[in-house]
Chain A
Amino acid sequence: MDSSRIYDLLILGGGNAGLCAALAARKAGLGVLVVESAPIHFRGGNSRHTRNMRTMHAGPLDVLTGAYTEEEYWQDLLKVTGGLTDEALARLTIRGTEGHLPWMKQHGVRFQAPLGGTLHLSRTNAFFLGGGKALVNAYYAAAAAMGVETCYDTEAIDLEIEGDRFIAATVRREGARQRLRAKALVAASGGFESNLAWLREAWGPPADNFIVRGTPYNMGVVLKLLLAKGAKQVSDAMQGHCVAIDARAPKFDGGIVTRVDAVSLGIVVNKHAQRFSDEGEDFWPKRYAIWGRLVAGQPDQLGFSIIDHKSMGKFMPPVYAPVKAASLGELASALGLDGAALEATVAQFNAAVRPGTFDHTILDDCRTEGLAPPKTHWARAIDSPPYYAYPLRPGITFTYLGVATDAKARMLMADGRPSANIFAAGEIMAGNVLGKGYLAGIGMAIGTTFGRIAGEEAARHVRG
């Protein structure tokens, strides 16, 4: 890190998108500096918690089975976003993924067959061997070998932008400030999900009960600076990927193991022991992303997933042991719920369950009748002790509020024209493609596509 030098390219954020930009720009001959706010062990932002990339392919490709066409991918995206997506950028992302696989392997990323319990993703998502941290490690090693300079524990705190042109960034490292000049900037510093004050600003007091599933380092500083200095905004501060996770998870960085996949097998009640949504609306992988919001809407942002003995062991093993009791009354008291209320809720649910043939692998015919809200599939009476419960809280994974970009990853200014030398990639601009909802593995697809484009376009800009 040298403040007397004018770097070709400064990259703020050393996660998947920033590293893809670094590798691509370095390959094109630029002198690249990556500034990462986390210490080395926690480098990589939320990429370190990822596990796969949703990938388009015409036929069996590497670890991917069958085919996953651009059109099917696009339809999947359209469905979850409800149209809140930029079709051109979305299709650019989708088409990019097929070529990413060999490029990623060339830079040391390794792939593996879908993990146990994730067969439903074997056609659409390419899993990283060792997960996202292994991917991040591989990219850092490749970047170092190519001569990319990296600074850890270094936080960007200010940006000098004149009109639509980046001049310099002020960074802080070990308390000392430095001004770093560069001919181009790639903003790849993620969203603001680690910034509890900002979350509270957006969500109000309920945000205090949110758990941040990923990195504690995504404070949204660069995002806020860019928006304040004339970038065009996409999406809004309340949009993001928010799932229901175990309430006992650590406040930050609990990652994938804090998930609770028991919801569709039983019922979910709030702190008043009342049900509040259809637990069996659709397959869990298609619904887990809405439950964060559902729990966020409940008093104290608390939910309790309750199952009985029949369902134990029929879902991915969660990391925290369930609360277990021989009767519903005991379960309620262990959870701090009103015993009579829980018994009444379960009795009412059990009475509404219609006979059917239970099959968790299809949308089966086990449903309730005359119950509000209904449970439309996999409804079985909760009557075989012991009973088990997992407490739930909203787990914010990442936020969609971002800066608008064009197809060259150039950041757009408020008037819609592209910046002269500012590029954006990854979560900080994911809202262009993902205005709401979530599709497993799309974050890495967006980060890799726009990271590579940002690096290449920055090189084109700098080298003229």
Chain B
Amino acid sequence: MSAGEASPRLGELIEEAQRVLAICNACRYCEGYCAVFPALERRLSFTEHDVHYLASLCHNCGSCLYACQYAPPHEFQLNFPRVLAQVRKQTYKRYAWPAFLARAFERNGLAVALLTVACLALFFMAMALAGDPARLFRAYPDSEGSFYAVLPHGAMAGAFAVVFAYVILAFAMSFASFWPDTGELASEFVSPGSSGSATWDALTLKYLDGGGAGCTYPDEKPSFARRNFHHLTFHGFMLCFAATCVATLYHYGFGWKAPYGFWSLPVLLGTVGGVGLLAGPAGLLWLKRRRDPLLVDPSQDGMDLAFLALLFLVSLSGLLLLALRETRAMGIILAVHLGAVLALFLSLPHGKFVHALYRFAALTRFHIERRRPLPEIGSE
């Protein structure tokens, strides 16, 4: 991000957020919906860092917009969820690492994602072809260790290790610049009380519930659809990740080589997770297409769509690989699956996934603050 280019717009956006937060602080009717309102009520005025923090605390459930007496067309034009959504994109760019890739948040659309998958898949195919052109299109029984017959294990593991290390480093660097700006100590973040509560909130999506009745998403009628599809997506992803971890342990710890049987732990975890990772992103996309345009920042649609599409593609190609691994199509599917997974991981630090990092940090800060006495900021 070149600071000079984005600053004036960012400045206006922060000012708009500060205007909106001041109205909310004087009203407070929405206090019971989520963590954002109790957090803002601890303040009399809002610094730029407060704005980033509160924006990341917002889950965009939408309830406050429909309840708002000042929402458009009221002359105050107060659209709390949307202005915070717009701020979140700026948060992602501001704390992105490496910084020169911050523009990716603007351009990280579906086309880029699919192109990345295609390039990486072609790369894996070329790698297989370079060894022996025939082996990519052969059918292998499981007993012949199909995957590694096409692509050497070392090449796969090496590529993923490098990308994984990059992702971890990128997140660590982003967090390391975000957290000090909140004014909290690093030791506060790691104290188990607050981060434990935040973990619970994140795993249960506590605040994606509109204060108890469900989000007003995709429209005004409260529903738990979005939370449920998010659960399927997140926990599906985690099960797939667990499958990979177990498989890695099998490989290096016990010397058991893939492919594993249908009733083995890695395949069971991957299958269940994969189904969740198909249904979750599909459901989220379906909801997204029907949501109230007032609620969101449409400039982030590309980023959202790309992330959901990659998750879906990873899962779809993974499940196809499982079903067709003893056929001649396996080589191509394997290349596409590896391409999709690698593209997904490469996009993590500069795509929609980063919301998890800042949301978790914000929730942790919320719990840190909540343990402190309320500042004396008066009453009626």
Interface of B is mostly: loop
- Determine if B12 is an interface residue (Cβ-Cβ < 8 Å): no
A254 CB, min distance to chain B CBs, angstroms = 8
| CB atoms of B379 and A120 under 8 A apart | yes
Known: A133-B68, A137-B220. A316 touches B26 (CB 8 A): yes
A285 x B380 contact (CB < 8 A): yes
Q: How far is the CB of A120 from chain B (nearest CB, A)?
A: 7
Complex Cα–Cα for A402 and B338 (A): 75
The distance in angstroms between the C-alpha atoms of A128 and B70, with both chains bound, is 16
B residues 62-120 with Cβ under 8 Å of A? 63-64, 66-75
B196-214 to A contact mask, C-beta < 8 Å, 1/0: 0000000000000001110
Q: In the bound complex, do residue A256 and residue B26 qualify as a contact, i.e. CB atoms below 8 Å apart?
A: yes
A84 at the interface (CB under 8 A from B): no
Asked if B22 CB lies within 8 Å of chain A CBs, one says yes
Q: Are A116 and B28 in contact (CB under 8 A)?
A: yes
Contact between A317 and B26 (Cβ–Cβ < 8 Å)?
A: yes
A87 to B270, CA, bound (A): 71
B283 on the A face (CB < 8 A)? no
B66 and A257 form a contact (CB under 8 A): no
Task: State the CA gap A284–B378 with chains docked (Å).
Answer: 12
Alpha-carbon distance between A256 and B76 when the two chains are bound, in angstroms: 13
Chain A residues with CB under 8 A of B64: 130
Return chain A residues, CB-CB under 8 Å to B27.
131, 255-257
Interface string of A41-62 (1 = CB under 8 A from B): 1100000110100000000000
Cβ of A255: which chain B residues have Cβ within 8 Å of it?
27, 69-70
Q: Which of A100-123 contact B (CB under 8 A)?
A: 110, 112-113, 115-120
Does B44 contact A317, Cβ atoms closer than 8 Å? Answer: yes
Given the complex, which residues of B lie within 8 Å of A313, measured CB to CB? 44, 376-378
Contact partner, B32, options A113, A284, A317, Cβ 8 Å: A113
A440, closest chain B residue (CB): B380
Residues of B close to A250: CB separation below 8 A:
75
The answer to whether the Cβ of B124 comes within 8 Å of any Cβ in the partner chain is no
Q: How many angstroms from the CA of A110 to the CA of B209 in the assembled complex?
A: 14
Q: Which residues of A contact B72 (CB under 8 A)?
A: 41
Task: Please judge, given known A-B contacts A316-B26, A319-B23, whether A118 and B380 are in contact too, CB under 8 Å.
Answer: yes
CB distance from B30 to the nearest CB of A (A): 6
A residues less than 8 Å from B379 (CB atoms)? 116-120, 315-316
- Chain B CB within 10 A, most for which of A49, A110, A117, A130: A130
Q: Does A95 sit at the interface, judged by CB under 8 A?
A: no
A391 to B377, CA, bound (A): 21
Please name the residue on chain B nearest to A319 by beta carbon. Answer: B26
For B22, list chain A residues within 8 Å (CB): 317, 319
A314 to B380 CA separation, bound complex (whole angstroms): 9
Q: Which residue of A lies closest to B25 (CB)?
A: A317
Residues of chain B in range 16-38 having any CB-CB distance to chain A below 8 Å: 22-23, 25-33, 38
Task: Using A313-B378, A316-B380 as known contacts, say yes or no to A130 and B67 having CB atoms under 8 A apart.
Answer: yes
Does B221 sit at the interface, judged by CB under 8 A? yes
The answer, yes or no, to whether A142 is at the interface (CB within 8 Å) is no
Interface residues on chain B, number (Cβ under 8 Å): 37
Given known A-B contacts A118-B380, A313-B44, A313-B377, A141 and B221 have beta carbons under 8 A apart: yes
Closest Cβ of chain A to B370, distance in Å, is: 13
Tell whether, in the assembled complex, residue A117 and residue B66 are in contact, meaning their CB atoms are under 8 Å apart: no
Chain B residues with CB under 8 Å of A119's CB are: 379
Q: When the two chains form their complex, are residues A284 and B74 in contact, meaning their CB atoms are under 8 A apart?
A: no
A261, B378: Cβ atoms under 8 Å? yes
Instruction: Pick the residue among A115, A132, A261, A285 that contacts B28 (CB under 8 A).
Output: A115
Please report the C-alpha to C-alpha distance between residue A130 and residue B315 in the assembled complex, in whole angstroms. 39
Task: Point out the residues of chain B lying under 8 angstroms from A316, CB to CB.
Answer: 26, 378-380
Interface assignment of A318: CB less than 8 Å from any CB of chain B:
yes
Q: Which of A253-285 contact B (CB under 8 A)?
A: 253, 255-257, 259, 261, 284-285
Knowing A130-B63, A131-B69, A319-B23 are in contact, say whether A284-B30 is a contact too (CB < 8 A): no
- Binary interface encoding of chain A residues 299-335 relative to chain B, with 1 for a CB under 8 A from any of its CBs, else 0: 0000000000000011111110000000000000000
Partner of A110, one of B38, B69, B211: B211
Which residues of B lie under 8 Å from residue A285 when comparing CB positions?
A: 380
Most chain A Cβ neighbours within 10 Å, of B22, B41, B221, B380 = B380
Whole-angstrom distance between the alpha carbons of A53 and B20 in the complex? 26
Complex Cα distance A391/B71, Å?
Answer: 25
Please, which residues of chain B bring their CB within 8 A of the CB of A257?
A: 23, 26-27, 70
Closest chain B residue, CB of each to CB of A261: B380
Binding site for A on B (CB under 8 A): 22-23, 25-33, 38, 41, 44, 63-64, 66-75, 211-213, 220-221, 374, 376-380
18 pairs of residues in contact across A and B, judged by CB atoms under 8 Å: A41-B72, A41-B74, A110-B213, A117-B380, A131-B27, A131-B30, A133-B66, A137-B66, A137-B67, A141-B220, A257-B70, A285-B380, A313-B377, A314-B377, A317-B25, A317-B26, A317-B44, A317-B378
